[in-house]
Chain A
Amino acid sequence: MDFWVLGQYAVNILFLAGIYGCVGLGFSLVYGVMNIINLAHGSLIMMGAYTTFWLFTSYGIDPFLSIPLSAVLFFMIGYFIQGAIINRVMKTGIFMIMILTYGIEIILVNLALYLWKANYRSVAPAYSGNILELGSITIPYLKLAILAATVLITVCVYLFINKTKTGMAIQATSLNRYSAQLVGIDIHRIYNITYGVSTALAATAGALIASVYPIFPSMEGPFLGKAFVIAVLGGLGNMAGALVGGLGLAVAETVGSLVFGASYQNVTAFAVFVIILVLRPYGLVGKRFFAEISS
Chain B
Amino acid sequence: MLEIEHLAAGYGEVQVIWDLGLTVGSGEVVALLGANGAGKTTLLKVISGVLRPSGGSVKFHGCELSGLGPEQVVKSGISHIPEGRQLFSGMTVEENLVMGAYTRSTRGLSSGLERIYEIFPELSNKRKRQAGTLSGGEQQMCAVGRGLMSDPKLLLIDELSLGLAPVVVERLVRAVMEVHQQRELDILFVEQDVQLALEVATRAYVMESGRIVKQGASQVLMDDPAVRQAYLGL
Contact = CB atoms under 8 A, between A and B. Distances in A.
B99 A168 contact: yes
Contacts of A176: 86-89
Interface in B73-108: 73-75, 79-82, 86-91, 95, 98-100, 102-103, 106
B71 interface: yes
Interface of A: 165, 168-169, 171-172, 175-176, 178-186, 289
A184 B86 contact: no
B69 A186 contact: yes
A172 B89 CA distance: 9
Contacts of B149: 183
A199 B186 CA distance: 44
Contact of B102 (A178, A183, A289): A183
Nearest to A169: B102
B150 interface: yes
Given A168-B99, A169-B102, A172-B99, A182 B74 contact: yes
Contacts of A179: 82, 86-88
Contacts of A184: 70-71, 73-75, 102-103, 150
Interface residues of B, number: 30
B67 to A, nearest CB: 15
25 contacts: A165-B106, A168-B98, A169-B99, A171-B90, A172-B88, A172-B91, A172-B99, A175-B89, A176-B86, A176-B89, A179-B87, A180-B99, A181-B70, A181-B71, A182-B48, A182-B79, A182-B82, A182-B86, A183-B102, A183-B150, A184-B70, A184-B71, A184-B102, A184-B150, A186-B69
A165 B87 CA distance: 18
B52 interface: no
A289 B132 CA distance: 11
A165 B90 contact: no
Given A168-B98, A182-B147, A183-B100, 16 more contacts: A165-B106, A168-B99, A169-B102, A171-B90, A175-B90, A180-B88, A180-B99, A181-B48, A182-B79, A182-B86, A183-B99, A183-B150, A184-B70, A184-B71, A184-B74, A186-B71
Contacts of A178: 50, 82, 86
B211 interface: no
B76 to A, nearest CB: 10
Contacts of A181: 48-50, 70-71
Contacts of B87: 176, 179
B146 interface: yes
Contact of B91 (A175, A182, A185): A175
B102 A185 contact: yes
Contacts of B82: 178-179, 182
Interface in B179-208: none
A171 B103 contact: no
Interface string B57-74: 000000000000111011
Nearest to B48: A182
